[in-house]
Amino acid sequence: MAEDALFLGFTGHINMDIVLRTDHIPASGSTSVTDIEENFGGTAGNFAMVAARLGYPFRVYSSVSLSTHRAYLDFLHKIGVDTSGVYLTDSDRGPVCYTVSDSGEQIYFVYQGPMASPYLHKVIRNIHHEYLHLGTGLPEDLRWAAENVPHRNLVFDPGQEIAYRYNKSDLEYFMSKAKLCILNENENRIASRILGKSPENICSSLIVTMGVRGSVLYEGGQTHSVPPRKSVRVYDTIGAGDAFRAGLYLGLYKRFSLLESMRVGSVVASLAIQGPLRDFSYSQEQVLAMLRD
């Protein structure tokens, strides 16, 4: 696309993830940790590690501390991610996410660090976005982007922050303004509770992801189900939703319908959970060939 236009601008977190693995996550009390590891993660970071290998243009918008993220940024540069939209600071640390995972389910504890302050006005130039993806971040910062950043299609994808960063007014604003909303099942339930009605009654198009049960598109009063793609093995489901989004945008970049793009997302998610996201290596040609199988 022209230099004054972008296919996709993707806002969200680039986290250092500290992952504690356990056989099960108890509701209370204590349990043994079987492994501990430090990974590159975050909604925008996970998305970028997969989307970069799929070979379509995008830019991530985020805010990080160089004291904790230098190696992560070096890795993103190495795999070709455009990080010119990442605000860098030497103050504070983070963001850091502490994740407890039993391979199937996860609980997250996030130290926001630089992501606790508005940053988008510092990194987004007056450039037109075909898709402006509003992921995790401060609602007031995302509202600024929605109102000031040129775009054709606005996508609202608040993630788990919907539970503690959003009120009814925020959700009504973003969901009515967005061309597409994306939530998982739990986020959809939380949104319904906050709003007092189902998000599908507000969103022009709504994708609800359901893990091993696939995803659903609510659009124009119709409901369309997309089945999951079976994975040959499961390393971990952390980042599966972010990988789904990377595949979704591959489909949209190829001018597929939204429903067909969701099927691309399912293929990519099934591949991404087979190993660490930083090792994802499938090309768009391989993914699209699998879509036809």
Q: What is the pLDDT of residues 109-161, one digit of tens each?
A: 999 999 999 999 999 988 999 999 999 999 999 999 999 999 999 999 999 99
Dist. CA 221–CA 158, nearest whole Å:
23
Q: What is the pLDDT of residues 232-251, one digit of tens each?
A: 898 888 899 999 999 999 99
Reported as half-sphere exposure (CB side, CA atoms, 13 A), residue 26 has a value of: 6
Please tell me which residue in 23, 242, 279, 293 is annotated as part of the active site: 242
The pLDDT value recorded for residue 2 is: 40
Dist. CA 146–CA 154, nearest whole Å:
7
| Percent over 90 (pLDDT), the chain | 87
The pLDDT value recorded for residue 230 is: 87
The pLDDT value recorded for residue 99 is: 87
The pLDDT value recorded for residue 125 is: 81
The pLDDT value recorded for residue 1 is: 42
The pLDDT value recorded for residue 27 is: 85
Domains of the chain by residue range: 5-13+43-92+114-292
Q: What is the mean pLDDT of residues 80-98?
A: 95
The pLDDT value recorded for residue 71 is: 97
Q: What is the mean pLDDT of residues 64-84?
A: 97
C-alpha separations of 133 from 36, 111, 120, 156, 262 in Å:
32, 22, 13, 6, 16
The pLDDT value recorded for residue 235 is: 86
| Percent over 70 (pLDDT), the chain | 99
Q: pLDDT band for position 62 (50/70/90)?
A: very high
Dist. CA 259–CA 205, nearest whole Å:
11
Whether 242 sits among the annotated catalytic residues: the reply is yes
Query: Selecting from 3.40.1190.20, 3.40.50.1220, 3.40.366.10, 3.40.50.2300, what CATH number does the domain 5-13+43-92+114-292 have?
Result: 3.40.1190.20
Residue type present at position 212: V
Which tokens is 52 given? 């970069």
pTM: 0.92
Q: What is the mean pLDDT of residues 54-71?
A: 97
Residue 183 has pLDDT above 90, yes or no: yes
Burial classification of residue 250, based on how many CB atoms lie within 10 Å of its CB (0-12 exposed, 13-18 middle, 19 or more buried): buried
The pLDDT value recorded for residue 104 is: 76
**Cβ atoms 271, 244 nearer than 8 A:** no
Q: pLDDT band for position 3 (50/70/90)?
A: low
